[in-house]
Structure 1
Amino acid sequence: MKQKLLFIAILGIFISGNLFAKTGAVTPYNPEEKVYWDFLRERLFDEENAFVSSFQGDILIYLKGAGKQDSSIVENLMQELKKLIPDRNVRFSNKYYEVNANNQIIHSIHIGFNDEGIISSNGYVHHSKNISGNQIYYDGFKGIYQPDIFGQNVNVKFNDSISFTERKRYIEYAIVMSMCVLKGNPLEARTFFENAILNDFDYNPLNTEFSDVDKFVISKLYAYDFKEQFRNYMLVNYSWRYYLVFTYKSLMSPIAYLTCFLFAIVIFLVSYNPVLKRNYRNKYWSYLISGLLVTNTLIVAIVLYGFLATRYVILDSGYLIQWMILNFVSILLSSLLFLIEKVLVKDKLSHKNQLFLKVLSVFVIIVLPLSIALPFIDGYDNMLQVYLWIIGITIATVRGMVIYLKNIGALEVREKEVELVALKEANTRAEIQSLHARINPHFLYNSLNSIAGLAHRDADKTEKMALSLSDMFRYSLNRESKVMTEIHNEIEMVRSYLEIEQIRFGERMSFTIRIDEETCRYLAPKFILQPLVENAIKHGISKIESQGFIAVSIVLVNDKIEIKISDNGPGFSEGLVAGYGLQSLYDLLEICYKGEAEVNWQNSPDKYILVRIPSKSNSIEV
């Protein structure tokens, strides 16, 4: 629910672009004033920072080598400047810079005429000896990246034949240009005033004059409330969004990137379960719908970025055609991706290899063909290829994340299944441990009674039976908590068990044990023999009145250990497992060998039960 609300909120911000509509004063600017402001904006702002550059204090002008005409022209211009910027003190100075009462440095405009050098604060002499006649040479630092304009050195050289009007144009051009820093891009300028000094970014004084638009720029630039006036102009004629993007582009651009990223994340979270994670009956739909989702998310993110980081957002019929083309390309790429992965990505591959091939195929399909084709397209730009690689890597990475998350979901299901199997195995192990931890109470009761009965008649048999019973308990209680043990240990335990039973049954029972020496080094499940021998006695020789015998045989045959228990009692019934209580044995073999063990039995010509287990196995701790 929170994800959907966040998505709706961001979408609302995007749709509510009209809320960034024109605000501020109710009465709009008259057309001429608006154009003048447009002229100022296009010349003085670089669209990266929220300031323009100007002299911060009084306007000081220092003349050196000026003739009567030159001084008169400068003085008349200064009187006009005083009217345009009454907030500033425009005056002559005979210093490179002055220090005001607040200990602030006030820079000045130095104009040297006809080879008269000007000494700067660092002692360097600026002169016009190396320039030709009717030319202006600037040598001063302007605050392109800060709001201050520092001291300006201007060298002017005139030919004797120059007229007063031409001389006036040169001087006015020199002073006005010194008072402003042109930062705008001439290629983006939409306003043009014939003969305006600030009209062009090229050096051409003779074709200029101190025009009304120049006076407007100077009057606004040097007004103390310039920032407020400019902000009001932007908000009245454009919008908050336009104003923020124009004056704070370096700040709005990362905000736009972050917003687009969050928008893409929200789309991903909202669509993950219903679209990306969904298992379609036809896998092609998964490719197609996912591709269209990614494509349209990118398109909307690009529009959103343009809305937040650029001044112009154009959504017209041309944009609609581009949107349709991109979706058509997305369908083609999704279809191609489906076909390629159907051929390359096989189910028998590991999940890591499948993931790698799927991510690589996305990158190859999106990036490589277009990267190869781009250099042959008119207007090719290296940055376009960089953006293409970034988009390709992004899409491939996102798809890799989706596939990974899908596999994580599948792994969770498999883990649940493994847990269920483990629970069953744990239950079986508990049963086995219960079997290991106890001896049949009837067996123990009978054994103790037999010992008590023999104690007065046969001391040797009593001692032998007691020792055998002790060996059995020692084997059962003092072994490590493992399912597997060496086969020779099992033989010793069964031998003790049979010796006890032989004493109990007397001459009615005999047994033999035959084992290949090489099998002794192999492992077998603990208590695999005792239940088989116990069943041979309980359901075999105990049912007959004649002499009974039990034969235990363990041999190695074709990398399999064959355990055979034979007896001469009644034959097995059809319900061998249920009737003979061997279910724990089957569960034990399944845990240890995962289906690789076999249990067979027969009644004729000889009666026996045969267990085959792999000859190479590892111990399993319980």
Structure 2
Amino acid sequence: MKKDVLKIVLLVLILVVTDLIMIFPISEKPKDPNWEYVKNRLFDGETSLFRRTEGPILFDLHEVSKSDSLLVKEVMLDLRKLLPNKKIEFFDDFTGMTFLQMVQEGKDKPSYRIKGLTIEEIDDSRILLHFEPSYLYKNRGNQFINIGAGYSIQMYPFERIGNKIKRSFPLTTVAIGDVYTPEQKKNYLMIGMLRNLVFIQNEPSTIEQSSVFSSKEIQGLDCRILDKDIFLLQKLYSDDFFEQFKTYLNNTYTWQYATSFLNKKLATLYAILIVGSIGILEFILLFGLFQNKKFKFSFLNYFFPILLIMLFGTDLTKIYTYLTDLGINENMNLESILELYSIAFIGSLIISFPLWLLEKIWINKIKDFSFLLICKVIFTFITFNIPIGIMYIKYPPSTSNDGFLEFYLPIFILTIIIAMSRGLLLYLNHYSDSLVKEKDVELSRLKEVNAQSELKLLQSHINPHFLYNALNSIAGLAHNNPDKTEKMALSLSNLFRYSINKKGQKLSTVKEEVLMVENYLEIEKIRFGKRLNFTLLIDETIENEPIPMYILQPLVENAIKHGISEIRGEGFITLEIKKEVETLFIIVSDNGPDFPSSLVSGHGLQTVYDLLRLSYGEKAALKWENNPKKHIAISITQTI
């Protein structure tokens, strides 16, 4: 009982502690707006993947006029001020040739290197600016009006492809018209170049002031380069950027959030390990709590285990979501947790009632254990899926079938595990019960063998004990009364003839045991003469009732030895055997001294007591009384 209470306390503690951790997480430190800007732009919240140009920044100009070339040089000077540790040059100056010449001369092979860089690394560092004439239009309502000729700058942006971020096609177009001032053109060109140096992965969750990195798409000429944009750019291109970012994240956010943000796969692995460990502990506690435990109302044998499985399944789901979902803390509170537990309670009723009813009406009546086990596993799986079917009907998925399968597949696997676990538990209980039954049968056999040995030992004790007393009597009469000696010797011979004929038997009949007692009393009457008087009151209808051998003689012997022999006058002994309903009564009374407080101490009565215990167990009793008449009585409620 104490162990069960301890298990229940541990299970409750697991629920309470995990819920408190999720409701009241470790407080986070104040957030730095600049680093938050970096976090919300450069990372997708699932991996530590980010993109920057690792080598030099090389600008490759095509179809460019002299004035626009000077404009690009001014922008490059400003860019060098922002990134003083970064080499920023024209492609032609760094390589000594144009990209086209490199291709024509066959120097675009992977093995070819320029200033220690492979062609792939050089191409990755190249920002292509393609200037060509175009017409610009201004949107006025539903009309587009030509506002004059200008130039469009086509640039290679970044995009995420698998686990890498590469430049992609088609090109991004930045339009610069003649209607804009040189300063506006320079600003817009700067914006375009900066966007080629930074890959924006995440759209802002709130509307922010328009800046160069405020969104994935270039906003237009109204974009401005703010301090937070410069902070982002300079941090991104610092040598230890990721270490700085990771330090900020770990110092500001919880371990759970930081791990999940930087590496969703690693956070998922941690979540699986943590949830798996807690789940194993919960399974061991639940298994120990409900193994071989039965309630009087059979429905509770289904409801309570399923309720706890649902509660702890909900708890494990919450823990997993808490460790992997970045937004879970915003929605996790006492009300939401109680709502989940309420759903678990209702789901337990929906699952347990049909399972209980079906197994009570049909499945539990199956005799073949293998078929019974298969049926219980199958119907356990089906009933655990009933709530999912109800939810599917009530709230049909608005997404594609792939989305529903992604949602249902973990539930499907979990219900299979639950069904198989129940099958394993049923099998282990059946195997355990079989072993217990085998041990009980074996123990019963050993007890029977032991009882037979003890009974034979007791019977062997009776004969020498009585023989000793009888021979002493014969010796005392041999010189004084030969006739009595002869009669006593013949009576003793009859007694031993009875013992020899019954050798190896445990039971005799009332009639045979009474004849043995008569022979014994005849012997004792020769000893005591007129001082000994005896009466036998035997119900003739029970003469053939089986009783243990030698159960009457010790009672009569005790009445003579401790009763008649202790008085000077006449002694009277009465042996009465009768049956009332299903109980057999054997009563021996005498007029000797009263019984002492502790009667069953001598060998004779102890022998009777042991015979009754070995033959009948608790179905027989021996008691003695001094009032109103001194007697000793045996009651046997069921005969053998």
Shared fold (TM-score greater than 0.5)? yes
Q: CA deviation at 1:179?
A: 0.9
Query: C-alpha separation between the residues in 1 aligned to 2:447 and 2:131?
Result: 105
2:128 counterpart of 1:111: yes
| CA spacing shift, 1:192–1:92, aligned 2, 3 Å | farther
Q: Distance in 2 between matches of 1:306 and 1:155?
A: 39
For residues 147 and 332 of structure 1, what CA distance do their matches in structure 2 show? 48
Are positions 1:400 and 2:418 aligned together?
Answer: no
Unaligned runs of 5+ in 1: 117-131, 428-572, 580-622
Letter in 1 for 2:280: I
Q: Distance in 1 between the 2:157 and 2:283 partners?
A: 55
The Cα of 1:420 is off from its aligned counterpart by: 5.1
1:287 pairs with 302, 306, 329, which one? 302
Residue correspondence of structure 1 range 54-69 to structure 2 within 5 A: 54-69=52-67
Find the counterpart in structure 2 of residue 308 from structure 1: 323
Offset at residue 64 of structure 1 (A): 2.4
Matches within 5 A, 1:145-544: 156=173, 158=175, 161-164=178-181, 167-168=185-186, 170-184=188-202, 186=203, 189-311=204-326, 312-313=328-329, 314-368=332-386, 370-371=388-389, 373-374=391-392, 376-377=394-395, 379-380=397-398, 381-382=403-404, 383-417=406-440, 419=442
CA drift at 1:137: 4.4
- How far has the Cα of 1:162 moved from its partner? 4.6
1:183 to partner: Cα distance: 2.5
Q: Once superposed, what is the RMSD of the aligned Cα atoms?
A: 4.3
| Cα deviation digits, residues 53-93 of structure 1 (max 9, x gap) | 11112222222222344334433333333233333222333
The DSSP-based 3-state class of the residue aligned with 2:314 is helix
Deviations 1:235-291 (CA, angstroms, capped at 9, x unpaired): 333122211111021111022123212211111112222224312232222212101
Q: What is the alpha-carbon distance in structure 2 between the residues aligned to residue 173 and residue 195 of structure 1?
A: 12
Matched, 1:93 2:73: no
Is residue 128–residue 155 contact of structure 2 (8 Å, CA) maintained in 1?
Answer: no
Normalized against structure 1, the TM-score is what? 0.56
Q: What SS does structure 1 have at the residue aligned with 2:127?
A: strand
Counterpart amino acid of residue 318 in structure 2: V
Measure how far apart 1:325 and its partner are.
Answer: 2.6
Counterparts of 2:428 and 2:547 in 1: how far apart (Å)?
Answer: 45
Contact 1:110-1:154 at 8 Å conserved across structures = no
Contact 2:75/2:186 (8 A) holds in 1:
no
Code of the residue aligned with 1:110 in structure 2: it is I
* Structure 2 residue 45 is the aligned partner of structure 1 residue 40: no
Deviations 1:172-215 (A, max 9, x none): 3432221122233x3xx424432222222235434433333322
Call closer, same or farther: CA 1:406–1:84 in 2, change over 3 Å: farther
> Sequence identity, in percent?
23
Instruction: Indicate how the Cα distance of structure 1 residues 150 and 247 shifts in structure 2: closer, same or farther if over 3 A, else same.
Output: same
- Mind listing any 5+ residue stretches in structure 2 that lack a counterpart? 100-107, 134-148, 451-542, 550-640
How much does 1:12 deviate? 10
Instruction: Return the offset for 1:301.
Output: 0.4
What's the TM-score once normalised by structure 2's chain length?
A: 0.55
SS at match of 2:53: coil
Q: Deviations over 1:268-326 (max 9, x none)?
A: 11222222431223222221210111011111101211232222332241332232232
Change (3 A) 1:387 1:101: closer
Tell me, what secondary structure is at the counterpart of 1:61?
Answer: strand
Counterpart-to-counterpart distance in 2, 1:170 and 1:379: 46
CA–CA distance in 2 between the matches of 1:373 and 1:19?
30
| Aligned counterparts of 2:206 and 2:34: Cα–Cα separation in 1 | 8
Distance in structure 2 (CA, Å) of the matches to 1:265 and 1:342? 30
Residues 1:277 and 1:254: Cα distance change in structure 2 (over 3 Å): farther
> Which amino acid letter does the alignment assign opposite residue 310 of structure 2?
T
2:64 is equivalent to residue 70 of structure 1: no
Instruction: Work out whether residues 21 and 240 of structure 1, in 8 Å CA contact, stay in contact via their aligned partners in 2.
Output: no
**SS of the residue 1:282 aligns to:** coil
- Greater shift, 216-225 or 100-109, is seen at 100-109
- One-letter amino acid of the structure 1 residue matched with residue 50 of structure 2: V
Equivalent residues, number? 411
CA distance 1:376–1:577, change in 2 (3 Å) = closer
CA distance in 1, matches of 2:50, 2:176: 35
Contact 2:212 2:223 in 1 (8 A): yes
